[in-house]
Amino acid sequence: MQMFPLIFLGVFLNALAQLLLKEGMSRIGYFAFSFANLMPISIQVATNLFVFMGLLCYAVSAVVWLLVLSRVPVSYAYPMLSMGYIINVVAAHYWFQEEISLSKIAGILVIISGVYLLSRQ
Q: Which of 89, 84, 117, 120 minimizes the C-alpha distance to 102?
A: 89
* Span 54-72, pLDDT tens digits: 999 999 999 999 999 999 9
Contact 91, 20 (CB under 8 A): no
Furthest-apart CA pair in the chain: how many Å? 54
Cβ atoms within 10 Å, residue 61:
22
Q: Considering the entire predicted model, what is its pTM?
A: 0.87
Measured between alpha carbons, how far is residue 16 from residues 9, 19, 29, 97, 115 in Å? 10, 5, 20, 16, 20
**Domain total of the chain:** 1
Using DSSP's 3-state secondary structure scheme, residue 84 falls into helix
Band the pLDDT of 121: cuts 50, 70, 90. low
Residue 35: domain span: 4-119
Q: Which residues of 10-40 are buried (b: 16+ CB within 10 A; e: fewer)?
A: bbbbbbbbbbbbbbbbeeeeeeeeeeeeeee
